Amino acid sequence: MKLIFVTGNPGKFLEAKELLGKYGIRLEQADIEVTEPQSDDLEEVAVKCAEEALKKAGERFIIEDSGLFVNSLNGFPGVYSSYVHRKIGCEGILRLLAGSADRSAYFMAALAYGEPGSGVRLFTGRVDGNVATEPRGKSGFGYDPLFIPFGSHSTFAEMSIEEKNKFSHRAKALKAFASWFLKKYERK
């Protein structure tokens, strides 16, 4: 079963490909141009992007918006995670957190499935953890060197894709999607 992942982020794609492969779903990447709307609601961004992608994609697809929410920074960088990472990187987040006793944070993923003729459906996933005191590890992308999920001593960047998928926000949203999708497909 083939499915398109509309994303320009190869890290997101590899994680999703590994996980959905276990469900027998063969994922292909498509970098369809989608303008992200101005909103600080992750779910709204994902749904609006999916609605736009629906106009351009000729087949069923998934699209995902995600971000790191640092509790002592009132959820910053949140929906602006990609932009903030490009501008100040992991080091910038560490500077903002210098001296903070509370280093708790979470990643959220809002994953929208779009199917021509059927509209859009949303799935979400969240993982809580702490921001490390220094970047650790070389794998993954974005804030992976900073994030230590509860239940582990390693950062996401110190984990293999398979290990990260045991914890991550993206994997949780993808698992919810995959079980719904397979049931829907089996009914047909």
- Catalytic residues, which ones? 65
Residues 43, 26: Cα–Cα separation, whole Å: 25
User: CB of 129 within 8 A of CB of 156?
Assistant: no
Closest contact distance (angstroms) between CB of 142 and ligand ITT is 2
Query: Is position 67 an interface residue for ligand ITT (rule: CB under 6 A)?
Result: yes
Among 66, 124, 130, 155, binds ligand ITT (CB under 6 A): 66
What's the one-letter identity of residue 97? L
**Separation in Å, CA 168 to CA 24, 40, 116, 125:** 20, 21, 29, 8
Considering the complex, state which of residue 37 and residue 182 has its C-beta at the smaller distance from ligand ITT.
37
Residues 112, 73: Cα–Cα separation, whole Å: 27
What's the one-letter identity of residue 93? I
Query: Is position 61 an interface residue for ligand ITT (rule: CB under 6 A)?
Result: no
Residues 176, 132: Cα–Cα separation, whole Å: 28
Calculate Rg over the CA atoms of the chain.
Answer: 16
Query: Is position 23 an interface residue for ligand ITT (rule: CB under 6 A)?
Result: no
Stretch that binds ligand ITT, among 3-11, 115-123, 131-139, 172-180 (CB under 6 A): 3-11
- Residues from 95 through 154 that contact ligand ITT (CB under 6 A): 107, 140-144
Chain residues that interact with ligand ITT, rule: CB under 6 A: 7-9, 12, 64-68, 81-82, 85, 107, 140-144, 156, 168, 170
